[in-house]
């Protein structure tokens, strides 16, 4: 339908299928599910199309194994690759997912160079960087989803601890999407009240807050350990959809995401988790907040870890060096 937006989902696995369902329900546009597995995206597209009469949405959903079908996409969300199994770190996925990003980046470059591209594939901060390199798109049009999810995990745990509605929690996470991520308590609020202040009022001690921060950092691994066959997909999908809606609706939302940072936070040319403004221009700005010495030091550990992964990528693919 030419009058509608077009959303292309590269990777039609657990997150890809959930993304398609959410995008259709929200009538964000027509949806193309791409995967290398033959039949699977077509099958999921049929199944999802048949939700339409029950849920009452107007969206065409098609499955494909041909990159030509993503032509003209307004938004592309990339989940192609492999997820973690118990005992694996995100970094263990580097080699295999780097070659996937090469194929995906070239597909996007050829068929949909004007899209806003949201990468979810892990290890996130390295994969979004590689996808930008391989696709050749401008850095403001390629972004990684991690911070919205990590801060949603943080917010969930805070709401449980303070026995309040998740709607009143605004939780803040910086840095890479890994165990070195930096949940920032001082910028996290509950109905505008900084969490450390509310903790004093409610008698929640610092040790308990540290436990919540730690659980947030390891939030993905906790779910991998329980699922055993893969990683989280509902909350990752809904987080990426929020970013896509911010772009399509020119919402100017400030969302934590893996954005290309140059000359802020002491970072020079890296993708790292920062608060970024998402509107019709893609990533329109990166907001640099003031950090305590400890937070800044933690962020440095996190960005150093990202940099190490990029070096590993360059070692694996000489075209990146």
Q: Which residues bind ligand A3D (CB under 6 A)?
A: 10-16, 35-37, 79-84, 93, 97, 100, 103-104, 120-122, 124, 145-146, 149, 177, 230-233, 236
- Strand-pairing partners, residue 10, are 34, 78
Minimum distance, C-beta of residue 256 to ligand A3D, in the bound complex (Å): 11
Minimum distance, C-beta of residue 317 to ligand A3D, in the bound complex (Å): 14
What's the rounded Cα separation, in Å, for the pair 201 and 13?
Answer: 45
User: Do the strands 6-10 and 30-34 form a parallel or antiparallel pair, or are they unpaired?
Assistant: parallel
- Of the candidates 41, 42, 20, the one whose C-alpha atom is nearest the C-alpha of residue 30 is 20
Would you say 21 or 84 has its CB closer to ligand A3D?
84
For the chain, the distance separating the N- and C-terminal CA atoms, rounded to the nearest angstrom, is 42
> Which residue numbers are catalytic?
177
Minimum distance, C-beta of residue 2 to ligand A3D, in the bound complex (Å): 26
Helix axes of 219-227 and 147-162: crossing angle, nearest 10 degrees: 90
For residue 164, give both structure tokens.
Answer: 């309040």
What's the rounded Cα separation, in Å, for the pair 113 and 141?
Answer: 9
Would you say 97 or 156 has its CB closer to ligand A3D?
97
Provide DSSP, 109-156. Answer: HHH-TTSEEEE-PSSHHHHHHHHHHHH---GGGEEE--HHHHHHHHHH
Query: What is the number of the residue whose Cβ is closest to ligand A3D?
Result: 13
Would you say 18 or 190 has its CB closer to ligand A3D?
18
Would you say 108 or 190 has its CB closer to ligand A3D?
108
Minimum distance, C-beta of residue 148 to ligand A3D, in the bound complex (Å): 9
């Amino acid at each position: 339908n030419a009058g509608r937006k077009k959303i292309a989902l590269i990777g039609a696995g657990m997150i890809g299928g959930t993304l398609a369902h959410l995008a259709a329900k929200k009538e964000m546009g027509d949806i193309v599910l791409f995967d290398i597995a033959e039949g699977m995206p077509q099958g999921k597209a049929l199944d999802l199309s048949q939700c339409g009469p029950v849920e009452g949405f107007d969206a065409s959903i098609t499955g494909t194994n041909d990159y030509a079908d993503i032509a003209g996409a307004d938004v592309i969300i990339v989940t192609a690759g492999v997820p973690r199994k118990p005992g694996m770190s995100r970094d263990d996925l580097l080699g295999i997912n780097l070659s996937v990003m090469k194929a995906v980046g070239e597909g996007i470059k050829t068929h949909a160079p004007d899209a806003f591209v949201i990468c979810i594939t892990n290890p996130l901060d390295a994969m979004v960087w590689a996808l930008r390199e391989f696709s050749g798109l401008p850095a403001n049009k390629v972004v990684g989803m991690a911070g919205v999810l990590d801060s949603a995990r943080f917010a969930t745990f805070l709401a449980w601890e303070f026995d309040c509605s998740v709607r009143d929690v605004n939780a803040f996470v910086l840095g890479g999407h890994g165990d070195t991520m930096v949940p920032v308590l001082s910028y996290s609020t509950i109905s505008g009240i900084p969490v450390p202040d509310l903790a004093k009022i409610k008698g929640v001690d610092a040790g308990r807050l540290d436990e919540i921060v730690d659980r947030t950092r390891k939030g993905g691994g906790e779910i991998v350990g329980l699922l055993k066959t893969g990683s989280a997909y509902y909350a990752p999908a809904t987080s990426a959809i929020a970013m896509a809606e911010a772009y399509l609706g020119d919402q100017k939302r400030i969302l934590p995401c893996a954005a290309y940072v140059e000359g802020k936070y002491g970072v020079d040319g890296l993708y790292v988790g920062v608060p970024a403004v998402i509107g019709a221009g893609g990533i329109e700005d990166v907001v640099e907040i003031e950090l305590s010495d400890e937070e800044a030091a933690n962020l440095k550990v996190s960005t150093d870890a990202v940099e190490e992964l990029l070096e590993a990528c360059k070692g694996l693919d000489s075209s990146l060096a």
